[in-house]
Amino acid sequence: MLRKSIAIAALLLAAPAAMAQDAPTGDQASSPADASPAEAPATSSVYAPVNFNFAEDPDNILVLDLSNGQRVAIRLMPEWAPNHVERVKTLAREGFYDGVIFHRVIDGFMAQTGDPTGTGQGGSQLPDLAAEFNPQPHVRGTVSMARAASEDSANSQFFIVFYPRFSLDKRYTAFGRVISNMEAVDAIQRGEPPQNPTRIMQASLASENAPVPTPPAPAADADIGADELNAPITN
């Protein structure tokens, strides 16, 4: 399967090293002048604003319980990208994201997850999705789908933007926004992959009212018996 990493163009000058290793040749954003009238973006009224009220429409709130002990809420926006939202909801209901690490986390840029292999090359068994590019800007907290060089190669991996990256607009499918505890996203371990990666312990929809998972118990120290205490000290 194609590597599901974000193909960043040379416009992102703030992270040249990361961009150079992952940008496939010839992957450029389409010029607005190239679009035919039939392909023109819909009016802005189509794209609903983000609802930050956790109590409303809980079936479109993705809840991520992280291994750092924090819970993050993401408002899913089917008005922006209905097929991508449905894919993420389907995978969350199946438990696909549970235990998956954030395998690519670049300081000042984004945190990427959704690959069960943890390599950036994996995905689900479901078919890849056709792009649903939209005018939503990649501001802080935007959740967007990762893909390979092909625009229609998104599958299961997604990323959360730390800071605005407007050069990603209309080149990656934005489908949600963090509405609670962005600070927990900021605390995700950095690296490609991180040495001690942050994991999604549980992904669920707010409508499921899933309890916070119990963190794994620390390994118990081995019992020391009398024989060990009385053993002679050797150099």
Q: What pTM value is reported for the model? A: 0.75
Burial (CB count within 10 angstroms: exposed 0-12, middle 13-18, buried 19+), residue 74:
buried
Q: Give percent of the chain above pLDDT 90.
A: 69
Q: SS3 of 61, please?
A: strand
The mean pLDDT of 129-158, rounded to a whole number, is 97
Using alpha carbons only, give the angle 51, 54, 57 rounded to the nearest 5 degrees: 70
The mean pLDDT of 64-85, rounded to a whole number, is 97
The mean pLDDT of 109-133, rounded to a whole number, is 97
β-strand pairing of 110-113 with 104-106: antiparallel
User: How far is it, in rounded angstroms, from Cα 106 to Cα 193?
Assistant: 10
**pLDDT of 86 strictly over 70:** yes
The mean pLDDT of 62-83, rounded to a whole number, is 97
CA distances from residue 192 to 71, 119, 212, 214, 235 in whole angstroms, order as listed:
23, 9, 28, 27, 41
Mean pLDDT of the chain: 82
**pLDDT of 62 strictly over 80:** yes
The alpha carbon of residue 124 and the mean position of all alpha carbons in its chain are separated, in whole angstroms, by: 14
Neighbours of 64 (CB within 10 A): 23
The alpha carbon of residue 180 and the mean position of all alpha carbons in its chain are separated, in whole angstroms, by: 15
* Domains, the chain, with CATH or none: 59-210 (2.40.100.10)
Alpha helices in 9-154, H assignment, sequence order: 16-22, 82-94
User: How far is it, in rounded angstroms, from Cα 140 to Cα 149?
Assistant: 24
Q: What is the pLDDT of residues 170-208, one digit of tens each?
A: 999 999 999 999 999 999 999 999 999 999 999 999 999
The mean pLDDT of 142-168, rounded to a whole number, is 97
Alpha helices in the chain, H assignment, sequence order: 16-22, 82-94, 182-186, 226-230
| 134 closest CA partner among 78, 174, 82 | 174
pLDDT at 101: 98
Q: What is the pLDDT of residues 27-54, one digit of tens each?
A: 333 322 333 334 444 444 457 899 999 9
